[in-house]
Amino acid sequence: MRPSLFEPLLRKLLFKLEPEAAHALAIAALAKIPLPKPPKDDERLQVEALGLSFQNPIGLAAGFDKNGEAAAAIPRLGFGYAEIGTITPHAQTGNPRPRLFRLTHDEAVINRLGFPSQGHAAVHARLTTQPKAGILGINLGANKDSADRAEDYVKGISAFADVADYFAINISSPNTPGLRDLQKGAALDDLLARVLAARDRLAERFGRRPVLIKVAPDLTLTELDAIVACARARRIDGMIVSNTTVLRPNTLQDRAAGEQGGLSGRPLFALSTKILAQAYLRVERQFPLIGAGGIDSTERALAKIEAGASLVQLYSALVFKGPFIASTIKQGLSQRLCEKPYPRLADAVGVTAADWASGKLSAESIL
């Protein structure tokens, strides 16, 4: 069945289910249904970043495959890389249900999952029994009841150094009380020092794994300045901008908009792209950025790259645009390169960052 016929049927089926049940079904299906290998990517989409070679810049963000159940299958959807997690050291159930909400009219999702995770040991065991397929990021978190949350991230580096291509340090989820405090001052500096030391101790055995931090879109510019200054001083390898937001744009129309948790999807695009551009100007090319938040089309993916992202990630778009959204975006990017003055997509990184940061460009500027 052609994707154009399959996707509406799949969406209709999944939308009849409670969101978390639909998500579990999607993961189970992806893990079990054999998918054909996608066509070879346009060479102009290739990205060299983090010491890795990405065949295309479209990644699957953390949150979709929390426990590595479908890691081997994700590249067959057309993604250039996948990020598994968030994974905590010990298994935990997360917050009470219901905790995942579709905002269908707004093409958005609100979640207050709270890092439900099977824990390091279970996820590692699963990943080592699957065939390695494509670039794999491991998104690390801390247990809710941890007495030393920085140590939880150190444990994650040790647990997954043999299977990770890079690590994402998630210190910006709004659904674990106090977690975002790790983005601040001395706490961030201590965390990065300990995580990078753990990475370096294991480098001789497993190779040097890039370490990135994932930040919130709700930061003030003063907070962003401090984070970037610390990240540059500690010489981290990159940043993911951004996580979900606790803010609620006044454009939201669905009744579920009042639910607590982090908002993702289409309404996050403007906020996350502006903070991405502001980060890009402050980083001054010392390390690459991954842009996330509201990407659901070729135009929005290209806008993130032009705003400063070397790579991009999506997740909520799978809910509303279907499982083949990455392939659709890639095809569109190849077409846009025929119209743009960029020989390769990587040449577009940051060309409109100043305009996004100043507010000259906005979501309304994107088709």
Rounded to two decimals, what is the model's pTM?
A: 0.96
What value does the mean pLDDT take over residues 308-329? 96
Residue 1: pLDDT over 60: no
Q: Is residue 2 pLDDT above 50, yes or no? A: no
pLDDT number for residue 227: 98
Answer for the pair 84, 134: CB distance below 8 angstroms, yes or no. Answer: no
Q: Assess whether pLDDT exceeds 70 at residue 269.
A: yes
pLDDT, one tens digit per residue, over 151-199 is 999 999 999 999 999 999 999 999 999 999 999 999 999 999 999 999 9
Task: List pLDDT tens digits, range 197-239.
Answer: 999 999 999 999 999 999 999 999 999 999 999 999 999 999 9
Beta strands in the chain (DSSP E): 47-49, 52-54, 58-60, 81-87, 100-103, 108-111, 135-140, 166-170, 211-215, 238-241, 262-265, 289-292, 311-314
The total number of structural domains in the chain stands at: 1
Of 25-29, 87-91, 260-264, the one with minimum mean pLDDT is 25-29
Q: How confident is the model at residue 16 (pLDDT cuts 50, 70, 90)?
A: confident
**For residue 245, cis peptide bond before it (omega within 30 degrees of 0):** no
Residue 4 has pLDDT above 70, yes or no: no
* Residue 13 burial (CB count, 10 A): 11
Tell me the average pLDDT across 129-145. Answer: 94
User: With bands split at pLDDT 50, 70 and 90, how would you rate the model's confidence at 132?
Assistant: confident
> What's 182's domain CATH number?
3.20.20.70
At 211, phi and psi to the nearest 5?
-120, 125
Rounded Cα gap, residues 292 and 217, in angstroms: 10
User: What is the rounded distance in angstroms from the CA atom of residue 318 to the CA atom of residue 254?
Assistant: 19
* Alpha-carbon distance values, 159 to 76, 88, 156, 162, 190 (Å): 26, 11, 5, 8, 20
The residue range of the domain holding 356 is 3-365
Active-site choice (117, 146, 172, 173): 173
pLDDT over 50 at 362, yes or no: yes
242 is catalytic: no
User: Is the confidence at residue 325, as pLDDT, over 70?
Assistant: yes
Q: Indicate whether 133 pLDDT > 70.
A: yes
How far the first Cα of the chain sits from its last, in Å, is 30
Whole-number pLDDT of residue 82: 98
> Nearest CA to 42 among 366, 339, 345?
345
Count the neighbouring beta carbons within 10 Å of the beta carbon of residue 221.
11
Query: What is the residue whose two structure tokens read 């088709």?
Result: 367
Whole-number Cα distances in Å, 54 to 134, 182, 285, 312, 334: 9, 30, 18, 11, 15
Mean pLDDT of the chain: 95
Cα–Cα distance measured from residue 227 to residue 279, given in angstroms and rounded to the nearest whole number: 9
Give the pLDDT of residue 7: 64
Three-state secondary-structure class, residue 306: helix
Label residue 6 by pLDDT band (50, 70, 90): low
Q: In this predicted structure, what is the pLDDT of residue 367?
A: 63
Please say whether the beta carbons of 197 and 153 come within 8 A.
no
Confidence at 105, pLDDT banded by 50, 70, 90: very high
* pLDDT confidence bin for 257, thresholds 50/70/90: very high
Confidence label for 14 from pLDDT (cuts 50, 70 and 90): confident
292 strand-pairing partners: 313
* Alpha carbons within 13 A on the beta-carbon side of 151: 5
d(CA 216, CA 214): 7
Q: For residue 366, what is the DSSP state?
A: -
